[in-house]
Amino acid sequence: MRPTCVLQMRNTCAVTTVTTAAVDPVLADAVDVARAAAEAEAPGLVGEHLGVEGEGERLATHRFATRDPAYRGWNWAVTLTRAARAKIATVDEVVLLPGDEALLPPPWVPWHERLRPGDLGVGDLLPTQADDPRLVPGYTATDDDELQAVAFELGLGRARVLSFDGRVDAVERWYAGDNGPEAAIARAAPASCATCGFFVPLAGALRQAFGACANEYAPDDGRVVSVDHGCGGHSEAVVVPASPAPAPPLVDEFRIDVVGGPLGHEPGSVSGDDTAEPFGHS
């Protein structure tokens, strides 16, 4: 009895116990037959014998180390068998298998599990699974054009609509993100979106908690925000008083202002004898 990893997924290993068959003595002794079979596949690259284990009745596998530098840690596995009452081992198959020290790639992950938000680029197509849990059938299409037109009129013109799970996912994602109440800009806001004139509630069940911001000066313009989000662009945060218009200039047409008086010399000149000028100029 030996433990064996039978399921490898996301670094978890479900361990169960399997029975190793007793090794057939004829097959266990046929090391040279197994080595010759491995040498036929890779001449000069078959190393030491690592052991033999039973696979079933008259079925056993010999393992040999490989000397191929490109496959360090891999083993040649040569499976032998024999007919009932026969004393000659025959080769069933020869394969190169990874050992404990083999360099292996990480487990393969399907593309739809590898996708991350933001991976979708211009021109990319993102097929949605037929059984995507985020979606449920919307309405049953009909050949009746009039009925079809009415369905579109009522907003039922989609083959699939958001399921309950899809709504819950969206609500949790939006509420915990940058457009929810815990965002730094929301905590510093003077009031919440619920009382903002730029807040446009969503339709349907989500309108109780979410709407779109329609303030072009707000960082969340055009995005979904929660009712308890907020920002400094709140419509009622600060009402800026209008600036008073400047008064028109007054012109007194009945008086004149005399600028300067008559000078005793030419303007701009001072004679050398004239010591009365206090600052040495006119």
Six-digit token string for 5:
């990893």
Q: Does 180 interact with ligand SF4 (rule: CB under 6 A)?
A: no
SS (H, E, C) 117-148: CCCCCCCCCCCCCCCCCCEEECCCCCCCHHHH
Least distance (Å) between residue 199 CB and ligand SF4 = 4
Q: Which is nearer to ligand SF4, 52 or 231 (CB)?
A: 231
CA distance 193 to 208: 12
CA distance 282 to 87: 139
Q: Which is nearer to ligand SF4, 96 or 214 (CB)?
A: 214
Residues 235/198, Cβ–Cβ less than 8 Å: yes
Q: Which is nearer to ligand SF4, 45 or 213 (CB)?
A: 213
Stretch touching ligand SF4 by CB under 6 A, among 15-23, 28-36, 196-204, 252-260: 196-204
Q: Does 193 interact with ligand SF4 (rule: CB under 6 A)?
A: yes
CA distance 60 to 21: 9
Q: Does 80 interact with ligand SF4 (rule: CB under 6 A)?
A: no
CA distance 158 to 128: 15
Instruction: Outline where DSSP puts E strands in the chain.
Output: 2-9, 12-18, 46-56, 59-66, 74-81, 90-98, 135-137, 160-162, 199-201, 210-213, 224-226
Stretch touching ligand SF4 by CB under 6 A, among 19-27, 72-80, 89-97, 194-202: 194-202
Size of the site for ligand SF4 (CB under 6 A): 14
Query: Strand pairing of 90-98 and 2-9?
Result: unpaired
Least distance (Å) between residue 162 CB and ligand SF4 = 23
Least distance (Å) between residue 207 CB and ligand SF4 = 14
Contact with ligand SF4 (CB under 6 A) among 66, 199, 210, 224: 199
CA distance 224 to 218: 12
Q: Which is nearer to ligand SF4, 23 or 218 (CB)?
A: 218
Stretch touching ligand SF4 by CB under 6 A, among 63-71, 157-165, 190-198, 272-280: 190-198
State the binding string over 200-219 for ligand SF4 (x if CB under 6 A, else -). -------------x-x--x-
Least distance (Å) between residue 215 CB and ligand SF4 = 4
177, with CB counted inside 10 A (0-12, 13-18, 19+), is: middle
SS3 for 205?
A: helix
State the binding string over 218-257 for ligand SF4 (x if CB under 6 A, else -). x-x----x---xxx-xx-----------------------
* Residues at the site binding ligand SF4, with contacts judged by CB under 6 A: 193, 196, 198-199, 213, 215, 218, 220, 225, 229-231, 233-234
